[in-house]
Structure 1
Amino acid sequence: MAATGANPNDVVRDAIRKAVSHFCGIALAVAVLSATLLGINGGERPLVVATGALAAVMCLFWGGGFLWDKLAASDKAATPAPAPTLALVDNRSPLKDSVTASVQLAVTIQGVVLGLIFAFVGNKDVTNTVKVAVIALGVGVISGILLFTFVSHQIFGVRTQAFVVIFQYITLWGLSYGLLCIISAVVAT
Structure 2
Amino acid sequence: MAADTTPQALVRVYEPEKDQWQALTSMPTPRYGATSFLRGNKIYVLGGRQGKLPVTAFEAFDLEMKSWTHYPCIPSRRAFACCAATERGFFSLGGLQQPCPHNFYSRPHFVSTVEEYNPEQGNQPSPLSSVESYNLVKRRWEYAAPMPSPRCCCAPLQTPNMLFLIGGVAQGPSNAVEALCLRETV
TM-score (norm 2): 0.25
Q: Which has the higher contact order (CA 8 A, sep 6+)?
A: 1
Q: Tell me which protein shows more strand as a share of its residues.
A: 2
Q: Tell me which protein shows more helix as a share of its residues.
A: 1
TM-score (norm 1): 0.24
